[in-house]
Structure 1
Amino acid sequence: MHASEPTSTTWRLIGAALLSIMLTAPAAAQEPSGEPPRDDQPIVLDVPYVPTPHEAVYRMLELVQVQPDDYVIDLGSGDGRIVIAAARDWGVKRALGIDIDPVRIAEANAAAQEAGVADRVAFERGDLFEKDFSDVDVLTMYLLPSINLDLRPIILEKLRPGTRVASHAFDMGDWRPDEWILVQGRYVYKWVVPARIEGRWEVTRADGRKFTVDIRQTYQRIEGMALIEGRARPLVFADIRGPTLRFSLANEHYTGLVDGERITALPGNKVVTAWHAKRI
């Protein structure tokens, strides 16, 4: 279940209100590029520090279905509340917060000690655009719309298919969220990083018959056309969620796991079995 998707008018009102609050708050966040400043250098801030409300923290972690074995990273971690909650309330064994402000890093470390999770969390001072977080399972953020859009290509290109992403208040432009909820007047968004599947694929069925499929992809939305024995047939009910591909073709249903240049069949109810595909 999720709340109605915000309209452009709603978005402008929410964005304007939040930005007004953020610009009057004490500044502390991360700069977008360059070497991290030394402690004796003035900090150039790109995102003002405004903490995510505790209720929104809980709902963010709930929405992305955090599991104990997940590696969680929070970008612009501030006082560390999301990272600490992931370890304390959801049993996460490893979590990292990244922030540019040494004052917030010290504050977060003290809060982690007080919460009894300092052995499972860490806070790192640095530039979130320079950090390699390709091994993350869950990525959380409360930044600004422009920063989200700058991060979007990094998330799509560097993170593993299936990685869950949550953002408080701001979305990712035309990359529509997979789910969203409304928490005390604030939107919380969730995305699942899709496998990159655009292109031509050769499908081989269990009986050895082959056909080609041309797929066009816009984030998690896909459309395509198969060529079977010289006849063009469209894919219907097609989507890609993380590494899982689903489509129907000629009244048959396919579900597969995308792994780079190959797709292997997944089991399911009334689906084609033992098929596979390779990119050509």
Structure 2
Amino acid sequence: MMTVSLAPRWLRIFPAAAILLCACSPHSDNETDAPAGFDPARFVAPAAPLDAPQLASDYDVVDAMLALAGVRPDDDVLDLGSGDGRVLIAAARVYGARGIGVDIDPAKVREATANARRAGVADKVSFRRQDLFETPLANAEVVTLYLTPEVNLRVRPRILAEMQPGAKVVSEQFDMGDWRADEHRRVGDTMLYMWIVPARLAGRWTLTLDGHDWPLTLTQHYQEIGGTLGADSRVGEGWVSGSRVRFVADVDGHSRVFEGRLEGDRLVSTSGEHWQAVRAG
């Protein structure tokens, strides 16, 4: 009579494994309990909290974002929440721009880095794991965002304080609250918003016109400026776009239009009116 073994085939081929299985079995006599208070979760790194959901932009939206920003060769583009890297890879391949992408998810950073290498632009763009609220903004000519309304509002003060006048910000889907977009564009079901970072002009100036000095006080709300010239002449119709400025004020009973640009701590005329203004404090 043939004897048929009922043991699994792998035990018949590797009988030594049966000994190891017994030694390691939870029912083994050598079983030891975990120390009191032992928590294995302490040894597993938790997933980093996300400031915004991980949603990838459609490629036609990416193209429209970069076109809306007017990206130029050698621009430095900063993508906050860069995901798989598609925005910066397109900026490098299509426009010749450089870029840095930041994401809190290390897996996305690795994915984006590999995608840039495959696209042949690893020499132009790089990706890093970083909190977007700690990312320096001052050197970027363009910042791209696809975050949330709340995160946009949290990052807005840093954009206005740190970025250079004339730098551009493009956000997919979400605006910046009461900071009105300079341009917006719809691509399918997606709305894009673009802002030009305004020069910071609020404060006291000394304006020189026709050989006379006038105290000029400017107030500012994003792109809009107001204030007073001289004792009581109201500054009206004022706006600033990047480093360019325009406002109207009465001088000796005559309405004068002032157009100029910011150069360091001076406003210099760019129109027929020969005037300039220097910060007074």
Give the structure-2-normalised TM-score: 0.79
C-alpha contact 1:262 1:279 (8 A) present in aligned 2: no
Identity within the alignment, %: 41
CA distance in 2, matches of 1:265, 1:276: 9
Corresponding residue to 1:226 among 203, 226, 229: 229
Which runs of 5 or more residues in structure 2 are unaligned?
1-43
CA distance in 1, matches of 2:186, 2:242: 24
Q: Which residue of 1 aligns with 2:212?
A: 209
Corresponding residue to 2:57 among 43, 52, 68: 52
1:74 and 2:79 correspond: yes
C-alpha contact 2:113 2:122 (8 A) present in aligned 1: yes
Q: Which residue of 2 aligns with 1:64?
A: 69
1:148 and 2:152 correspond: yes
Larger Rg: 1 or 2?
2
Alpha-carbon RMSD across the aligned residues, in angstroms, is 1.7
- Offset of 1:129 from its aligned partner? 0.8
- Offset of 1:104 from its aligned partner? 0.9
CA distance in 1, matches of 2:49, 2:93: 32
Of 256-265 and 104-113, more deviation after overlay is shown by 256-265
**Counterpart amino acid of residue 164 in structure 1:** K
1:110 and 2:111 correspond: no
Which runs of 5 or more residues in structure 1 are unaligned?
1-38
Q: Which residue of 2 aligns with 1:173?
A: 177
- Offset of 1:225 from its aligned partner? 2.0
C-alpha contact 1:138 1:164 (8 A) present in aligned 2: yes
**Counterpart amino acid of residue 241 in structure 2:** R
- Offset of 1:260 from its aligned partner? 4.9
- Offset of 1:189 from its aligned partner? 0.4
Q: Which residue of 1 aligns with 2:245?
A: 245
Instruction: Answer 1 or 2: higher relative contact order, Cα 8 Å, separation at least 6.
Output: 1
C-alpha contact 2:266 2:276 (8 A) present in aligned 1: no
1:186 and 2:187 correspond: no
CA distance in 2, matches of 1:113, 1:265: 47
Give the structure-1-normalised TM-score: 0.79
Query: How does 1:4-153 map onto structure 2 within 5 Å?
Result: 40-92=45-97, 94-153=98-157
Query: Per-residue CA shift, 1:58-114, capped at 9, x if unaligned?
Result: 11111111111210000000000100010011111x211100111111111121122
Partner secondary structure for residue 186 of structure 2: strand
Q: Which residue of 2 aligns with 1:277?
A: 278
